[in-house]
């Protein structure tokens, strides 16, 4: 009996989490132009509209480009740093960890406003470079945490073995350690890309008209009239998120297999 | 064979990057909340002359002469300096935005007699102690003006701290509102998240996987998309209103958007996974033999729950609550899209003062309040959950 109530409650909450997203996706395939059911018919007109729109299409490419560049920068900086943090102990490690994880905790509005103030005199406001730097900074904690997690499963004795065989520390890292933690590094990069793809507040404050990303355009699209093209954009973001989630799940499973095998 | 030096070299590029893009910008921004540097460069002599003034009555000829000299020098220098100083003084005492440039224009030409008489002839405002008090308060370099303003307090010319005027007293209400909304969201998340987390932790097979997927999927989907979904659902002609009307529960569409209800609903939807995942971890960590042992010793189910299960899962519950609360405090997008003017939280005011009203000092002081609240919660989280496995949540 009690178990039955628990199931009913749990399933209701699970539905509450999923239903709003599921409910709006079919609207983007509507042949009509209203945001409710029943649909007058099915069509791809809102997707055609999306890909023909000077409002949405550049935003799509901006999101892809800025996300990729930010993920690359975050991975490039985060992976060696995670390796360094993994080998460190004591107070310096605690301080370094604190700094690395801080962007996860500080409210993003504070980051956005601080960057607006700091990037102004540097000429980085309303530039792609500025937004890539900001998004890389927001994504880097996820890279470090993910790579550190995959290093937990790496046996450091192998590095000593590599040194005994005459490999320097750099060579040992690239030839011995990196291949084993590669799925973790890739998962970290996906996390960083997803962070950039989701990010609105910093984009709202420091992006110019040429840097507007998909979520940024959705924000302004929602502020005035919600059109069905907005739901098409939402649907595309959902599909991308699902793909990224699957990619991370696949990479993490691969990482586990590799360690066990 | 630890090599701390090599490790430091590997970490250095990232730390340097974060120092430049994160630590320094935030430090420089927050610094503006406790300093004042817009007025002193424009009125250096006036600030010095006012240092010995006790704040009562109109200051002497010396201060007036210093003001005239400063304004003449400023008129011949950087054109933006006087408007900048005037905007800062206006934030303290409305009217300064016009008064300072006007006075500067009028004293530029040489005049006969005392500076005091000449300036007082331009505007009676210069006879009021509070006019000079505003300059003295803005003299810097350190200043409590913005932090006091963010708490609805102000200092008068004599230095006594009192309440801000009634019509400008908004920030304590905003702070309380932010704390209240965050608390409400946390409580609702806990109430909704508990049964779901318990099921995920105890169920087996496909149902458990499906329930976990229902938590993970929204976790990954963009916050704007989820907020957009609620806007579409809750519109006047939206799906929820249509369903309510079709089922005969209501006759006219309910106003479901632009209010507190929509903000809390949207925030709960976005933050619920952050509650469920730590709860699942906490419940999975429970030793299932302990409740069974309690039951076999004769405890009723509610007693087993209250005396065994609940205390054992409390650290996980605390961690989940703090995680949700911290994030709720800083919310910007969801209240901006789903809420009305009276549902905006601290983050919205930080953004407003930084961009639309260009009052960096106040934006920084509000950010300091936000960060202090978040910092206290993080410290509490550290005590409860420990920092050894960050990201485990």
Query: Closest residue of B to A232, CA-based?
Result: B225
The answer to whether the CB atoms of A84 and B214 lie below 8 A apart is no
Q: Give the pLDDT of residue B389.
A: 45
Q: Which residue blocks in chain B are alpha helix, DSSP H?
A: 4-18, 24-34, 44-50, 61-76, 81-92, 96-106, 115-122, 129-137, 145-150, 171-202, 205-220, 223-234, 239-246, 260-285, 289-296, 301-304, 310-329, 333-338, 346-351, 360-385
- The rounded percent of chain B whose pLDDT value lies above 90 is 59
Residue B18 with chain A: CB contacts under 8 Å: 99-100, 102-103, 137, 140
Digit-coded pLDDT (tens) for B142-180 = 989 999 999 999 888 888 898 988 888 899 999 999 999
pLDDT at B165: 85
Can you tell me the distance from the alpha carbon of B318 to that of B381, in angstroms, rounded to the nearest whole number? 8
**CA–CA dist A69, A75 (Å, integer):** 10
Q: Considering the domain boundaries, does residue A49 fall inside one?
A: no
Co-location of A28 and A102 in the same domain: no
Q: What is the mean pLDDT of residues B74-99?
A: 89
| Inter-chain touch B13–A198, beta carbons under 8 Å | no
What percent of chain B has pLDDT above 70?
Answer: 96
A10, A108: one domain: no
B183-224 pLDDT, tens digit each: 999 999 999 999 999 999 988 889 989 999 999 988 889 999
Helix, strand or coil, per DSSP, at residue A63: helix
- Alpha-carbon torsion angle B207, B210, B211, B217, nearest 10: 180
Total domain count, chain A: 2
Separation between Cα atoms, residue B305 and residue A56, nearest integer Å: 53
DSSP secondary structure, A94-155, as one string: HHHHHHHHHHHHS-HHHHHHHHHHHHHHHT-TTSHHHHHHHHHHHHHHHHHHHHHHHHTTS-
Integer Cα distance of B364 and B133 in angstroms: 22
Please list every residue in chain A whose beta carbon sits closer than 8 Å to the beta carbon of residue B224.
Answer: 198, 200, 215, 218-219, 222, 237
Of the two residues A83 and A35, the one the predictor is more confident about is A83
**pLDDT for A34 beyond 60:** yes
**Cα distance between residue B373 and residue A110, in whole Å:** 13
Residues A3 and A64 both lie in one domain = no
CA distance B278 to chain A (A): 16
Whether residues A113 and B235 touch (CB distance < 8 A) is answered with no
Confidence of residue B392 (pLDDT cuts 50, 70, 90): very low
User: Which pLDDT does position B387 carry in this prediction?
Assistant: 55
Work out the mean pLDDT of chain B and round it to a whole number.
90
Contact list in B for residue A10 (CB cut-off 8 A) is: 195-196, 198-200, 211
With CA atoms as reference, report the closest residue to B145 among B329, B360, B385, B381.
B360
pLDDT at residue B388 above 80?
no
Place of tokens 């209010």: B259
Distances in Å between the Cα of A97 and the Cα atoms of A111, A144, A194, B15, B387 are 18, 9, 22, 10, 10
> Domain B171-385: what homologous superfamily?
MetI-like (1.10.3720.10)
Lowest mean pLDDT among A237-241, B234-238, B364-368: B234-238
pLDDT band at B29 (very low <50, low <70, confident <90, very high): very high
CB-based contact A151:A181 (threshold 8 Å): yes
The residue with tokens 């998962």 is A187
On chain B, the residues whose CB falls within 8 A of the CB of A201 are 332-333
**Is residue A82 one of the residues assigned to a domain?**
yes
CA B208 to chain A, closest CA, distance in angstroms equals 11
Residues in contact with A167: Cβ distance below 8 Å, sequence separation at least 6, in sequence order: A175, A176
Strands B161-163 and B153-155: antiparallel
Tell me, yes or no, whether A237 lies in a domain: yes
Query: Which ipTM value was assigned to this complex?
Result: 0.94
Domain range list for chain B: 44-142, 171-385
Interface contact flag, A88 B330, Cβ < 8 Å: no
Average pLDDT value for residue range A205-209: 94
Q: pLDDT at residue B266 above 90?
A: yes
pLDDT at A10 exceeding the cut of 50: yes
Higher per-residue pLDDT: B241 or A76: A76
In chain A, residues with a C-beta closer than 8 Å to the C-beta of B360 are 117
Chains A–B, number of C-beta pairs less than 8 Å apart: 270
Q: What's the pLDDT tens digit per position in B273-330?
A: 999 999 999 998 888 888 889 989 988 888 888 888 888 888 889 989 999 999 999 9
- pLDDT higher than threshold 60 for residue B4: no
Contact B3 A169 (CB under 8 A): yes
> Is A48 part of any domain?
no
Of residues B66 and B316, more confidently modeled: B66
**Rounded distance, CA A184 to CA B332, Å?**
32
**Which CATH number do you get for residue A216?**
1.10.3720.10
Taking the CA of residue A24 and the nearest CA in chain B, the distance in Å comes to: 6
Q: Are A120 and A186 contained in the same domain? A: yes
Chain B residues within an 8 Å CB radius of A112 = 351
Of A35, A149, A160, the CB nearest to B1: A160
Tokens encoding A29: 């395939």
Nearest by CB to A106, from B218, B239, B371: name it. B371
How far apart are alpha carbons A16 and A18 in whole angstroms? 6
Interface test with B, best of A8, A14, A33, A174 (most B CBs within 10 A): A14
Q: Is A249 helix (H, G, I), strand (E, B) or coil?
A: helix
| A144 and A28 fall within a common domain | no
Among A129-133, A156-160, B379-383, the range with the most confident prediction by mean pLDDT is: A129-133
Q: What percent of chain A has pLDDT over 70?
A: 98
Q: Do A201 and A221 fall into the same domain?
A: yes
Backbone φ and ψ of B8, nearest 5°: -65, -40
Instruction: Say how many C-beta atoms besides its own lie within 10 A of residue A151's C-beta.
Output: 19
Q: What is the mean pLDDT of residues B29-51?
A: 93
Q: For residue B92, what are the CA distances in angstroms to A81, B74, B96, B134?
A: 46, 21, 9, 6
B51 phi, psi to nearest 5 deg? -60, -35
Write out the residue range of the structural domain in which residue A15 sits: 1-43
Separation in Å, CA of A245 to nearest CA in chain B: 7
> For B246, which residue in chain A has the nearest alpha carbon?
A37
Identify the pLDDT of residue A115: 97
Measured on CA atoms in the order B317, B320, B322, B328, is the torsion positive or negative?
negative
Taking CA atoms, what residue in A is nearest to B13?
A: A77
Predicted confidence at residue B5, as pLDDT, reads 64
Q: What local confidence, expressed as pLDDT, does residue B354 receive? A: 93
The answer to whether residues A226 and A35 touch, using CB atoms and an 8 Å cutoff, is yes
What tens digit of pLDDT does each residue of B216-235 get? 988 889 999 999 999 989 98
CB B364 within 8 A of CB B29: yes
Count Cβ atoms within 10 A of the Cβ of residue B246 and give its class: 0-12 exposed, 13-18 middle, 19 or more buried.
exposed
| Entry pTM | 0.91
Q: Are A196 and A70 in contact (CB under 8 A)?
A: yes
Which of B1, B14, B199 minimises the CB distance to A6? B199
Q: What's B21's DSSP letter?
A: I
Same domain, A100 and A31: no
Which CB contacts under 8 angstroms, 24+ apart, belong to A51-54?
Answer: A53/A229
Report the alpha-carbon distance of residue B231 to residue A222 in Å, rounded: 8
């Amino acid at each position: 009996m009690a178990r039955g109530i628990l199931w009913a409650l749990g399933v209701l909450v699970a539905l509450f989490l999923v239903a709003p997203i599921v409910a709006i996706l079919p609207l983007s395939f509507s042949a009509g132009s209203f945001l409710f059911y029943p649909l007058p018919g099915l069509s791809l007109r809102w997707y055609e509209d999306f890909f023909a729109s000077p409002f949405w299409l550049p935003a799509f490419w901006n999101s892809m480009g800025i996300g990729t560049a930010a993920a690359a920068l975050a991975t490039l900086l985060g992976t060696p740093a995670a390796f360094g943090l993994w080998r460190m102990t004591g107070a310096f490690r605690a301080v370094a960890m604190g700094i690395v994880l801080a962007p996860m905790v500080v409210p993003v509005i504070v980051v956005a406003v601080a960057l607006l103030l700091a990037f102004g005199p540097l000429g980085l406001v309303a530039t792609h470079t500025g937004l890539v730097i900001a998004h890389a900074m927001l994504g880097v904690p996820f890279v470090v945490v993910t790579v550190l997690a995959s290093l937990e499963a790496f046996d450091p004795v192998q590095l000593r073995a590599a040194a005994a065989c005459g490999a320097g520390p750099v060579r040992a890292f690239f030839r011995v350690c990196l291949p084993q933690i590669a799925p973790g590094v890739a998962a970290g990069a996906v996390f960083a890309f997803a962070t950039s793809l989701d990010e609105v507040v910093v984009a709202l404050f420091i992006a110019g008209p040429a840097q507007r990303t998909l979520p940024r355009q959705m924000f302004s699209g929602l502020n005035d009239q919600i059109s069905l093209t907005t739901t098409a954009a939402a649907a595309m973001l959902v599909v991308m998120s699902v793909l990224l989630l699957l990619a991370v799940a696949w990479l993490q499973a691969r990482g586990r297999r590799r360690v066990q095998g | 064979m630890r090599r701390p030096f090599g490790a430091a070299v590997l970490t250095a590029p990232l730390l340097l990057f974060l120092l430049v893009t994160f630590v320094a910008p935030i430090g420089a921004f927050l610094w503006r909340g406790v300093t004042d540097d817009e007025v002193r460069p424009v009125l250096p002599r006036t600030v010095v002359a006012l240092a010995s003034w006790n704040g009562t009555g109109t200051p002497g000829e010396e201060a007036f002469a210093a003001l005239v000299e400063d304004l003449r020098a400023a008129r011949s220098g950087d054109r933006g300096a006087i408007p900048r100083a005037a905007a800062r003084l206006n934030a303290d005492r409305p009217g300064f935005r016009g008064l300072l440039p006007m006075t500067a224009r009028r004293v530029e030409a040489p005049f006969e007699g005392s500076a005091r008489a000449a300036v007082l002839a331009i505007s009676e405002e210069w006879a009021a102690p509070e006019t000079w008090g505003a300059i003295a308060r803005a003299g810097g370099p350190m200043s409590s003006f913005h932090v006091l303003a963010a708490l609805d307090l102000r200092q008068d010319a004599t230095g006594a701290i009192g309440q801000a005027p009634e019509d400008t007293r908004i920030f304590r209400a905003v702070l309380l509102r932010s704390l209240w909304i965050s608390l409400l969201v946390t409580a609702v998340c806990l109430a909704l998240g508990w049964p779901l987390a318990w099921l995920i932790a105890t169920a087996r097979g496909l149902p458990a996987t499906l329930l976990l997927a229902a938590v993970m999927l929204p976790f990954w989907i963009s916050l704007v998309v989820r907020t957009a979904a609620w806007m579409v659902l809750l519109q006047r002609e939206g799906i929820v209103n249509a369903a309510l009307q079709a089922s005969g529960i209501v006759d006219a569409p309910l106003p479901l958007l632009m209010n507190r209800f929509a903000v809390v609903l949207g925030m709960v939807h976005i933050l619920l996974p952050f509650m469920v995942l730590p709860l699942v971890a906490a419940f999975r960590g429970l030793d299932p033999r302990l409740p069974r042992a309690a039951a076999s010793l004769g405890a009723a189910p509610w007693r087993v729950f209250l005396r065994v299960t609940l205390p054992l899962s409390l650290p996980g519950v605390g961690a989940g609550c703090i995680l949700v609360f911290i994030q709720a405090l800083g919310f910007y997008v969801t209240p901006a899209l789903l809420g009305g003017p009276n549902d905006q939280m601290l983050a919205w005011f930080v953004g407003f003062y930084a961009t639309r009203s260009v009052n960096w000092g106040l934006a920084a002081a509000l950010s300091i309040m936000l960060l202090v609240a978040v910092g206290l919660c993080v410290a509490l989280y550290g005590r409860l959950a420990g920092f050894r496995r960050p990201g485990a949540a």
